[in-house]
């Protein structure tokens, strides 16, 4: 066990002096255990401010990232809360140590400099990412691979980077070949490349009636006419797609069939087969935007592109599954489209960063990507349970380990009204009106991302949203 001598200084804990007697577990866990012990025996009082990451790291001769992991682990146990610009503090009431990620936390109001808890961006939880990235960059700097990633590269990326991309894609498309992989600078760039390569100005592009706003902005900026296709709880409706094809004669369908953004729908296999058949019937090309496919159990999962490989461009990336700053995406495309896609990559960015692509390849080839994905899935599952506990009496669309929920608002709420009210009360969510590809009646829902804040912050923010929904006179909160 790791014990600490506590030196108090005006309510702040200025230094811990460790003593190691059991090295069987990681240092960050020993630090978190010692913190829990010190709170339990009264050496740390509610409201005490802990040392900064830098100060404690220097005292213990470890990295600041290790201290960050320790503090995050303590926050998961409900022991502390971080306040941006002020530090990390012992919570007023210490609940029993959570035996599993499903345990709820007492809401602890954080104090952010901006006054907002941001639940607007879907991204992985970054609690442990700095540690990994620091090690990965250090290893790359001393690796013989460094020389090959310091120069220009064409033809869709280095062969070794394409092979790593194919290895990643093979989790969902087992027969994926490296020769059919095109590297992009993230998923958004991949969408730009696919839409601009597979359609032309004034073409009609189809998408879901509620769709990712990035598709909307890309289509409009490139002069495409975007049309929404009706959805239900299982995603895009095949009969509505057929009707849209008959009416508009579109060139392209951009579709998110798994953990759809924003509604969280997962399309059944039979519906995927039906959509593939309709695409063949109307000579429709498909962009299978599968950036959330990693959240589904691999043995049971087949992406839309598996049903119509000859007319599908499959898109995935590492920015949602691992780290937002890892701006590498992978397009897997039929041979007849590869020259157009590679040409558009050169026209738009010349080349994705080979340095970033090497980091991504190392992550995939070492197996670390799979480990990080499992950690994200586990964290997402715990946060979904928290959302169900706090907002479950309302109609929410979720998946067991999704990064977000879709909250359908009760009457008389509108999406914009509730999003504005939430922002005025310190919580940022996304109004359903932001997901409309056409000027149709406003959606009565908001998207709530779950992975960005600490668990204590998330519990506090969701509780605040529930209190707004519960109010009989919501306008009094303005």
For residue 473, the model assigns a pLDDT of 58
- 273 versus 136: the higher-pLDDT residue is 273
- 193 versus 475: the higher-pLDDT residue is 193
Question: CA geometry: angle at 381 spanning 379 and 386, to 5°?
Answer: 95
| Residue 359: pLDDT over 50 | yes
Is residue 11 very low, low, confident or very high in pLDDT (cuts 50, 70, 90)? very low
Average pLDDT over residues 311-327: 91
- 478 versus 29: the higher-pLDDT residue is 29
Q: Which segment of 266-280, 395-409, 428-442 scores lowest on mean pLDDT? A: 428-442
Measured over the CA atoms of residue 331, residue 336, residue 342 and residue 347, the dihedral's sign is negative
* Distances from the Cα of 192 to the Cα of 52, 185, 198, 329, angstroms: 42, 10, 10, 12
Is residue 177 very low, low, confident or very high in pLDDT (cuts 50, 70, 90)? very high
Position of tokens 């579709």?
A: 255
| Residue 478: pLDDT over 70 | no
| Residue 312: pLDDT over 90 | yes
- 95 versus 407: the higher-pLDDT residue is 407
For residue 4, the model assigns a pLDDT of 42
Is residue 284 very low, low, confident or very high in pLDDT (cuts 50, 70, 90)? very high
Is residue 76 very low, low, confident or very high in pLDDT (cuts 50, 70, 90)? confident
Average pLDDT over residues 134-139: 82
Preceding omega of 149 cis (within 30 degrees of 0) = no
Average pLDDT over residues 402-410: 95
Burial of 137 (0-12, 13-18, 19+ CB in 10 A): exposed
For residue 110, the model assigns a pLDDT of 44
For residue 250, the model assigns a pLDDT of 97
Three-state SS string over 374-415 comes to HHHHHHHHHHHHHHHHHHCCCEEECCCCCCEEEEECCCCCCH
Q: Which segment of 111-115, 145-149, 398-402, 419-423 scores lowest on mean pLDDT? A: 111-115
| Residue 111: pLDDT over 80 | no
| Residue 456: pLDDT over 80 | yes
For residue 470, the model assigns a pLDDT of 85
278 vs 447: CA distance, rounded Å:
30
- 52 versus 387: the higher-pLDDT residue is 387
| Residue 114: pLDDT over 50 | yes
Most confident of 29-38, 194-203, 296-305: 194-203
| Residue 192: pLDDT over 80 | yes
For residue 264, the model assigns a pLDDT of 95
For residue 109, the model assigns a pLDDT of 45
For residue 246, the model assigns a pLDDT of 97
Q: Which segment of 91-95, 249-253, 285-289, 321-325 scores lowest on mean pLDDT? A: 91-95
For residue 92, the model assigns a pLDDT of 58
For residue 15, the model assigns a pLDDT of 58
For residue 57, the model assigns a pLDDT of 78
For residue 369, the model assigns a pLDDT of 87
For residue 152, the model assigns a pLDDT of 82
92 vs 77: CA distance, rounded Å:
14
107 vs 127: CA distance, rounded Å:
19
For residue 63, the model assigns a pLDDT of 74
Average pLDDT over residues 309-330: 92
Q: How confident is the model over 219-255, as pLDDT tens digits?
A: 999 999 999 999 999 999 999 999 999 999 999 999 9
Contact 394, 469 (CB under 8 A): yes
Q: Domains (ranges, CATH) in the chain? A: 27-90 (1.10.10.10), 117-125+371-470 (3.90.1150.10), 143-366 (3.40.640.10)
pLDDT > 90: percent of the chain: 55
For residue 163, the model assigns a pLDDT of 95
Most confident of 55-59, 73-77, 308-312: 308-312
Q: How confident is the model over 296-308, as pLDDT tens digits?
A: 876 678 999 999 9
Q: Classify strands 329-332 and 312-317 as parallel, antiparallel or unpaired.
A: antiparallel
Q: DSSP 3-state helix, strand, coil percentages of the chain (rounded to 5)?
A: 45, 15, 40
State the chain's mean pLDDT as an integer: 84
For residue 113, the model assigns a pLDDT of 44
- 261 versus 64: the higher-pLDDT residue is 261
Contact 4, 41 (CB under 8 A): no
Is residue 84 very low, low, confident or very high in pLDDT (cuts 50, 70, 90)? low
């Amino acid at each position: 066990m790791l014990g600490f001598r506590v030196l108090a200084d005006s309510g702040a804990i200025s230094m811990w002096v460790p003593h190691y007697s059991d090295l069987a577990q990681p240092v960050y866990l020993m630090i978190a255990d010692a913190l829990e012990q010190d709170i339990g025996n009264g050496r740390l009082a509610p409201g005490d401010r802990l040392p900064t990451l830098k100060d404690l790291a220097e005292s213990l001769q470890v990295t600041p990232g290790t201290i960050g992991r320790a503090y995050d682990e303590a926050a998961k146990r409900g022991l502390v809360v971080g306040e941006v610009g002020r530090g990390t503090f012992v919570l007023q009431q210490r609940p029993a140590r959570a035996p599993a990620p499903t345990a709820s936390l007492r809401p602890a109001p954080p104090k952010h400099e901006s006054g907002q808890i941001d639940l607007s961006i879907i991204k992985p939880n970054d609690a442990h990412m700095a540690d990994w990235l620091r090690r990965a960059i250090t290893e790359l700097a001393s690796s013989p691979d460094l020389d090959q990633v310091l120069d220009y590269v064409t033809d869709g990326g280095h062969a070794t980077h394409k092979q790593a991309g194919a290895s990643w894609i093979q989790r969902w498309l087992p027969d994926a070949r490296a020769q059919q992989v095109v590297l992009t600078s993230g998923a958004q760039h991949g969408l730009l490349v696919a839409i601009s390569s597979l359609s032309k100005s004034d073409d009609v592009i189809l998408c879901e009636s509620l769709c990712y706003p990035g598709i909307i902005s890309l289509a409009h900026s490139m002069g495409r006419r975007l049309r929404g296709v009706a959805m239900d709880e299982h995603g895009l409706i095949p009969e509505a797609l057929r009707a849209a094809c008959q009416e508009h004669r579109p060139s392209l369908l951009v579709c998110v069939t798994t953990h759809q953004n924003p509604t969280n729908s997962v399309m059944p296999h039979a519906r995927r087969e039906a959509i593939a058949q309709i695409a063949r019937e109307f000579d429709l090309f498909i962009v299978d935007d599968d950036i959330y496919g990693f959240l589904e159990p691999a043995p049971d999962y087949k992406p839309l592109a598996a049903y119509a490989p000859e007319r599908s461009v499959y898109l995935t990336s590492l920015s949602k599954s691992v780290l937002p700053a890892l701006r590498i995406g992978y397009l897997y495309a039929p041979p007849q489209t590869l020259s157009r896609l590679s040409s558009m990559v050169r026209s738009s960015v010349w080349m994705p960063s080979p340095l970033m692509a090497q980091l991504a390849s190392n992550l995939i080839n070492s197996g670390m990507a799979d480990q990080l994905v499992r950690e994200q899935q586990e964290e997402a599952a715990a946060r979904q349970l928290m959302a169900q506990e706090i907002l479950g009496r309302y109609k929410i669309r979720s998946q067991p380990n999704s990064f977000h929920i879709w909250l359908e608002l009760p009457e008389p709420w509108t999406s914009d009204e509730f999003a504005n009210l939430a922002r005025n009360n310190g919580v940022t969510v996304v109004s359903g009106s932001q997901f409309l590809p056409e000027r149709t009646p406003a959606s009565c829902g908001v998207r709530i991302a779950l992975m960005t804040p600490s668990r204590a912050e998330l519990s506090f923010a969701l509780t605040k949203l529930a209190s707004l929904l519960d109010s009989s006179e919501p306008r009094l909160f303005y």
